[in-house]
Amino acid sequence: MSIVALHHVRKVYDTKVAVDDMSFTIGPGMMFGLLGPNGSGKTSTIRMMIGITVPDSGTVELFGAPFDRRALSRVGYLPEERGLYKKMKVVDQLVFLGQMHGLDAATASRRAHAWCERLQILESVQKRTEDLSKGMQQKIQFISTLLHEPELIIMDEPFSGLDPVNASLLQDTLEELRNQGRSILFSTHRMDQVERMCDQICLIHNSKLVLSGSMRDIKSRYPVNRVQVVFQGDDAFLAHAAVASVKRHNEHAEIVLRPSADNAGDAQQLLAFALAHGTRILRFELTEPTLEEIFIETVGTDHADFDTQSRMHRVVDGAAHA
């Protein structure tokens, strides 16, 4: 059974096509990443999954049945635009939102306290929300999404605006929830996060799905032809015949190898060449392309207008297209 299934979903706002022919499924216990640059249609897709908007055509299924608002009690949703009632006390706020998701007040309060303890904000539960820092408010909203123990957790850009400590705290929490069998969908424009966390991904660009599947499948479609090198001394090896392009940051080089039947063999030769020229190799790693590289390769460099937070991997000479 699929937890979420979209079939040829399309949504048009006035004249702008927000989502076009979108199809994917999320299985139980999956961590699913919805990826794409800003404005590519991630939020529009998510809003249709939780009935805030209705698709113009195509269908949305939740828990194996056509969309029904009653199923939403099994879903936890964290919108991209964070918001809480500023004047309300944290605990009142959480209890209210828990009740809106069908909990009784006592249960909501008990779980709210347990979560606040777990996320280290228990001392703030009696404070007014506006008196808290932005990061704390984010945690509270995160908790409000999980109070009713949803089977499906949908989070729109959950890590944006968080400091690294809190971001990893929330990542760990999400992975724990996934290990308990919950299905999790989150959107992000930061591909580096997804590499580590997601079982499945869906890449969207200009309202269209460009790539989807399990991380392992997608990566296995691409040759293992990237070499990460950290070195000292002579850099003559960067001009070796096996090298298609190089991106260099001081002593760190990211090499793309020329297409070949035996990338591993080419890499060995490259390493031998470097050692022969007296280069000190501190790190030499043969990898598959990163998701960002795959994305850029799929949609073309011109359209990769990521946020500044994102690490841009531009491939010199455009050789990646070769």
Partner 1 sequence: MHKVWLIAQREYLERVRTRAFLISTILIPVMMGAFVFGSFYLDKKSATTPQHVALVSADAPFALDLQQMLDADREAHILSDVISPPGPDTRPTLEHMLDDHGLDGYLWIDRLPSGELQFVYTPATSSPTVNGPVLAVLSTNVRTLLLRRGLIARGLGEGDVDGLTQPVRIDHGHHRPRSSLGAAFALFFLMYMVVVLYGMNVARSIIEEKTSRVFEVLLSTIRPEEMMAGKILGVGSVGLTQVGIWMLAVAALAATPFAHAAASGDMALTIGPAQVVFFVLYFIFGFLLYSSMAAALGAMTNSEQELQQLNMFLVMPLGFCMLMIPVVMNAPNSFWSRVVSLIPFCSPLLMNFRVSLSMPQPWEIGLSFVLMAVTILIVIWLASRIYRVGVLMYGKRPTVHEIMRWVKYS
**Residues at the contact surface with partner 1, assessed by CB under 8 A:** 47, 50-53, 69, 72-73, 75, 77-79, 81-88, 96-97, 99-101, 141, 144-145
**Helix boundaries (H) for 119-202:** 134-146, 164-179, 191-197
Q: Which residue has the tokens 């455009």?
A: 318
The dihedral formed by the CA atoms of 120, 101, 199 and 55, expressed in degrees to the nearest 10:
-140
| Residue number with CB closer to partner 1 (46 or 294) | 46
To partner 1, the closest distance from the beta carbon of 73 in angstroms equals 8
Q: Specify the residue, 49 or 299, whose C-beta has the smaller distance to partner 1.
A: 49
- Rounded to a whole number of angstroms, the minimum distance from the CB of residue 85 to partner 1 is 6
**Helix (H/G/I), strand (E/B), else coil: 300:** coil
User: At closest approach, how far in Å is the CB of 51 from partner 1?
Assistant: 7
Say how far apart CA 222 and CA 294 lie, in whole Å: 8
- Please report how close the Cβ of residue 302 comes to partner 1 at its closest, in angstroms: 27
Q: To the nearest whole angstrom, how small is the minimum distance from the Cβ of residue 149 to partner 1?
A: 15
Q: What are the structure tokens assigned to 201, written together?
A: 């991904």
* Residue 52: other Cβ atoms inside 10 A: 12
Contact 266/244 with Cβ under 8 angstroms?
no
Which residue, 72 or 257, is less far from partner 1 as judged by CB? 72
CB of 137 to partner 1, least distance (A): 10
Nearer to partner 1, 73 or 214 (CB): 73
Instruction: Provide the H-helix boundaries in the chain.
Output: 42-49, 90-100, 105-118, 134-146, 164-179, 191-197, 215-220, 263-276, 291-299
Nearest CA-CA partner of 286 in 252, 269, 263, 261: 263
Reduced to 3 states (helix: H, G, I; strand: E, B; else coil), residue 309 is: coil
Closest approach of partner 1 to the CB of residue 119, in Å: 18
CA atoms of 287 and 236, how far apart (whole Å): 21
Residue 94 or 270: which CB sits closer to partner 1? Answer: 94
- Complex with partner 1: residue 84 or 291, whichever CB lies closer: 84
Decide whether 141 or 263 has the Cβ nearer to partner 1: 141
Q: How far is the CB of 96 from partner 1 (least distance, A)?
A: 5
What φ, ψ does residue 239 adopt, rounded to 5°?
A: -100, 10
Nearest to 266 by CA among 242, 238, 236: 242
Nearer to partner 1, 82 or 127 (CB): 82
